[in-house]
Amino acid sequence: MIYLDHAATSPLDPRVLEEMMPYLTNKFGNPGSLHAYGREARQAVDRARSQVAVFFHCRPDQVIFTSGGTEGNNLVFFGTANELLRRNRHDITISAVEHDSVWKAAHRLCIKHPFHLHICPPNADGEVKPSAVDEQISCTTGLVSVMLVNNETGVVNDIAAIADACHKNGALVHTDAVQAAGTMRLDTGSCFPVDFMTVSSHKINGPKGVGALFARDPSVLEPLISGGDDQEFGLRGGTENVAGIAGFGKACELAGIEYAKHLLYLTAQRSKLVYALRCAAKEQGVEIRINGDIANMSPKTLNVCLPGVDSETLLLMLDAKQICLSAGSACRAHENTPSRVLKAMGVSDEDARCSVRISLSHLNTPEELDTAAREIIACARALKSL
């Protein structure tokens, strides 16, 4: 099996599983309990919070554990709503290429509360320019959300410049960094001075069902899930997922340590993959185009258009050959509609339906990528011949 869908999820690192196992077996205490079992579990949660804080370059009390990126994104929008209304900030801005968890949360917020939603378009390469964001915001803008790395194209946005423009207007800034984690240093101090940042464990070889929200000032948030005041600083009620949190902390620690090595490897392998795809396409007489500016992409992700080749049929053919890729976000995999992200970039409906996402990991070998490139083009040619 050749797995090239790491933007959807990544395999669990054995070292992460080892960290989790005690809390799935004999160390089963509730972190809220005062006895030895509870104290043991609380220490595991506190240790993981410190590991994630190092990953974010922030204080541990600025880390809120969640069930993943979707919950973290929703907590930003609905958790800040009352604070924004108190400040008389009735405008919300998001980009047109956001993940569905931001897109739908923002639209729902504006249905339930008296907010006005503004959509900032990307350029033809898929990048959301700081100047485009600046045009959308005003003195009544309360919250701006632009993702750091796009989940479908891998295009990177200049979040530092966007945050600067927003802060000059007094707006809070959120970035969905789920796809950036593991390939970029998520320094919320000097590199990305945002107010909120979300990450998800299972994108960096950690367990599913856990993630974190960085909140520069957690006091502006209100909980989505009410419960114990001591659980996640009163911002997320419910007994903590100790095993998942411990595994997430370990995954963050490993990602921080191995970041540079993985980045170099992924950059080299993605270049080789592009070359192999283009060579095979030329040999087979198949047209291939890259969606987005490859010079401004995370090395983890590549979105390619094979004009005249239905992506869903191509994916099924490749699956039969034990090669796994996707047509875009896993959250929309069963929707028979062209990608909203690609359409926002100006890609036609037809070409959007002919596009696939290839997402890599440090676990992929050069031989796997060579094989995948040949099979992708061979299957595309077979479909075109029909």
Nearest to 303 by CA among 289, 314, 315: 289
Tell me the residue type at 344: A
> Which two three-digit tokens encode residue 258?
């191995």
Token match 């593991």: residue?
Answer: 182
Q: What is the DSSP letter of 12?
A: P
Which is the catalytic residue, given 110, 331, 354, 379? 331
The count of other CB atoms within 10 Å of the CB of residue 242 is 23
> Which two three-digit tokens encode residue 324?
């796994």
Nearest-Å Rg of the Cα atoms of the chain is 21
Task: Outline where DSSP puts E strands in 82-228.
Answer: 91-95, 116-120, 141-145, 172-176, 196-200, 211-215
> Which two three-digit tokens encode residue 126?
């898929």
Residue 120 annotated as catalytic: no
Taking the C-alpha atoms of residue 126 and residue 112, their distance in angstroms, rounded to an integer, is 30
Taking the C-alpha atoms of residue 297 and residue 9, their distance in angstroms, rounded to an integer, is 19
| Inter-residue contact 197 to 174 (CB < 8 Å) | yes
Calculate the alpha carbon distances from 46 to 14, 52, 135, 247, 251 in Å. Answer: 22, 10, 42, 13, 15
| Inter-residue contact 245 to 44 (CB < 8 Å) | yes
Taking the C-alpha atoms of residue 376 and residue 372, their distance in angstroms, rounded to an integer, is 6
Catalytic machinery residues = 331
